[in-house]
Amino acid sequence: MKGHEVDEAVFKKLSQEGFDAYNTLYADCSCPDEINHDDPEEDITSLMTKRWGEIFPLAGLAGFPFTGKTGWGAFSAHVPIDGHIMVLYAPHVGVDS
């Protein structure tokens, strides 16, 4: 699926569950490789940042959240009261012909 298709599908489902940009904190656990972040009109991380607002970066190599206990504590301190979290986990997977 293309980034915009994933963004739309995720938004459709989460909005049915009461998630919106005001009550949801978005965390990005995607591989920081530049190929995953070079097209702001199609990259899932860019689209979700536009959709959900503030982004909390948690990822390191391969998208694994390397922030540890302190990072997760900092992240949880930013969650809106009675709010939601949405974590995108997206390792870098390359496919070619």
Q: In this predicted model, what pLDDT tens digit does every residue of 47-75 receive, in sequence order?
A: 999 999 888 888 777 777 788 888 888 88
Q: pLDDT tens digits for 27-51?
A: 988 887 777 778 888 888 889 999 9
Could you tell me the residue ranges of all domains in the chain? Answer: 3-90
Start-to-end Cα distance in the chain: 17
β partners of residue 86: 26
Tokens representing residue 13 in the block: 């489902």
